[in-house]
Amino acid sequence: MNDGISDMTPFATQALLDEVKTWVEIESPSIDAVAVNRLMDKIEADANAAGASMKRIPGRDGYGDQLLVTSPWGGEEPGVLVVSHVDTVHPVGTLTRELPFRVEGDIAYGPGIYDMKGGAVIAFAALRHLIRVGGPGKLPIRHLFVPDEEVGSPTSRELIEEEARRASYVLVTEPARDGGKIVTSRKGGTATFDLTVTGRSEHSLHPKNGRSAVRELARQILELESMSDYDTGLTVNVGVIGGGTSTSMVPGHAYAKISMSAPDSEITEKTIARVLALKSNDPDVTIEITAERGRRPGYEKSPEIEALFQHARGLAAEIGFVLEGVNGPIGGDANFTAQFAPTLDGMGPDGKGAHGLQEQISISSLVPRATLLLRLFETLG
């Protein structure tokens, strides 16, 4: 970390890391509303203690609550919207089994620490600091915490777009990319597929009379994952599989759920067509594939977004680090907000390993990134 940063920031590395640890240790998978709401309870209590205004919207359809934390100043005027999701892909128990919170040198590990509890924590810390010192910023600050981004924001999209419509600027606290870059556009396409395989069940003592759906599925998995092209940014991932009923039976049914992300619309459409054109390797086995295109709109870099980025870049230089922008290949909540207000994404700390069992953040990036968010709150408008 640049030595000059300590001269101009109110934040301490250990205090931010301790708060990140607290959030990480409240596991909050998207599909567990009770778990998500435990973290929402903590955020609500901390916001109340800081003197912020709040609005909590009960969850629905099996997802957790939504929480809007608002600065005491600015009223209903257009302001700065911060969007953070508190849900993760990791099931409860990951913390005690595969991925305990731990610190090794400048790296801190934990489920959801990079995507995106680290970013949510530092933005919330910046808002609470501004309230504590009596602010105000030039614009009201509204920090929206949502419970379901990892599954496509099915219950929070409406509120995200509603708040974006009355925002002058939007900051999304997804993690930084590729060594600290922020996201200024997301041009890629996404899709999900359901693959169903139907063979012929038979007792395992007479396998010649059966037609294994699992064997056909295995062949299809190899074909599907061979479509990935990491150089262009195309990924096809078979994430869920199942089939059969007993080890004593040739399995007559099998299935898989697949996700795809691509760097542009042309590759998106070509890959969807390629997946839908897959054929069974066995004439006695049938496969059925359905596709659902991603529901998030495009996020193009407008002149207003470029101006917002240049403002953030200038603030980062004052703090002591170089800020760069990058196109993010996968959709997120910024795709919703960018339709209505200039949006910067990837405002969280640097790190890597999102969704994996080596998920991590760079501890030394916490203070500079928190300071950048604070300076944006103070100067925008």
> Torsions phi, psi of 69, nearest 5?
-105, 130
Q: Are strands 79-85 and 141-146 parallel, antiparallel or unpaired?
A: parallel
pLDDT at residue 3 is higher than 50? no
User: Which residue ranges does the chain devote to CATH 3.40.630.10?
Assistant: 3-186+298-379
Return d(Cα 311, Cα 314) in angstroms, integer.
5
Class of domain 189-293: alpha beta
User: Which residue ranges does the chain devote to CATH 3.30.70.360?
Assistant: 189-293
Class of domain 3-186+298-379: alpha beta
Torsion of CA 331, 161, 369, 35, to 10 degrees: -80
- What pLDDT, in 10s, does the model give residues 204-240? 998 999 999 999 999 999 999 999 998 888 999 999 9
Confidence class of residue 2 from pLDDT cuts 50, 70 and 90?
A: very low
Q: How many Å separate Cα 68 from the centre of its chain?
A: 18
Q: Among 14-28, 78-92, 177-191, 235-249, where is mean pLDDT lowest?
A: 177-191
Question: Which pLDDT score, from 0 to 100, does residue 188 have?
Answer: 72
pLDDT at residue 331 is higher than 80? no
Question: Which pLDDT score, from 0 to 100, does residue 106 have?
Answer: 98
Confidence class of residue 104 from pLDDT cuts 50, 70 and 90?
A: very high
- Taking each helix axis from N to C end, the angle separating 366-379 and 118-132, rounded to the nearest 10 degrees, works out to 50
Percentage, residues of the chain above pLDDT 90: 87
Buried b (16+ CB within 10 A) or exposed e, 60-95: eeebbbbbbbbbbbbeeeebbbbbbbbbbbbeeebb
- What pLDDT, in 10s, does the model give residues 139-196? 999 999 999 999 999 999 999 999 999 999 999 999 999 889 999 998 777 899 999 9
Question: Which pLDDT score, from 0 to 100, does residue 4 have?
Answer: 53
Q: What is the DSSP letter of 208?
A: G
Could you count the other beta carbons within 10 Å of the beta carbon of residue 219? 16
